[in-house]
């Protein structure tokens, strides 16, 4: 009985260690599953951020990729900034208890709106970004694959 209990405890500890995400696992380049945008997730201080590094030129106004600017931003002073290199996700903090990144803000450049955001990594290579308004069930989930 004692040996069985020891084996079960060791197996549980093994699963607990190897099934958890690491805090920095989110870092790197990610492509939306619909191939519309590529972002680079990086760390600044204790928070995680993401910036646009590529998007499909066929989306939006038809002007060249490198000249597109943030025309829908509610702040008139920010409407001249380029989409490429723009931060669209900020303030994410890793919650070790539920293995997800929480309390972030995501910017929707197609509407100029800022949403609350949570992010989870599933199966080690799928990034699930949930943008929502007040409650997580009022929102949209975007999926990304690691590049």
Q: Which contiguous run of DSSP H or E holds residue 117?
A: strand 113-122
Tokens 């929480």 map to which residue? 102
The confidence score (pLDDT) of residue 11 equals 41
H and E: helices and strands count for the chain: 1, 8
Q: Which CATH class is domain 22-146?
A: mainly beta
Q: What is the pLDDT of residues 29-84, one digit of tens each?
A: 999 999 999 999 999 999 999 999 999 877 766 667 788 999 999 999 999 999 99
Question: Which sequence spans correspond to the domains of the chain?
Answer: 22-146
What is the pTM for the complete model shown?
Answer: 0.81
Q: What is the pLDDT of residues 90-104, one digit of tens each?
A: 999 999 999 999 999
Q: Which long-range contacts (CB under 8 A, 24 or more apart) does 56-62 make?
A: 60/110
The confidence score (pLDDT) of residue 15 equals 38
The confidence score (pLDDT) of residue 63 equals 67
CA angle in degrees (0–180, nearest 5) for 75-130-107: 15
Contact 101, 89 (CB under 8 A): no
């Amino acid at each position: 009985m004692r040996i069985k209990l020891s084996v079960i405890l060791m197996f549980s500890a093994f699963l607990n260690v190897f099934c958890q995400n690491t805090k920095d696992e989110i870092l790197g380049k990610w492509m939306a599953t619909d191939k519309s945008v590529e972002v680079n997730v990086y760390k600044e201080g204790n928070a995680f951020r993401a910036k646009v590094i590529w998007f499909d030129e066929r989306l939006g106004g038809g002007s060249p990729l490198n000249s597109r600017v943030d025309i829908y931003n509610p702040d008139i002073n920010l409407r001249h900034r380029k989409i490429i290199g723009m931060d669209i996700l900020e303030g994410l903090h890793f919650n070790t208890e539920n293995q997800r990144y929480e309390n972030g803000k995501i910017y929707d450049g197609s509407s100029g709106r800022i949403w609350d955001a949570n992010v989870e990594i599933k199966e080690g290579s799928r990034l699930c970004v949930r943008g929502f308004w007040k409650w997580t069930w009022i929102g949209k989930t975007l999926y990304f694959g690691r590049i």
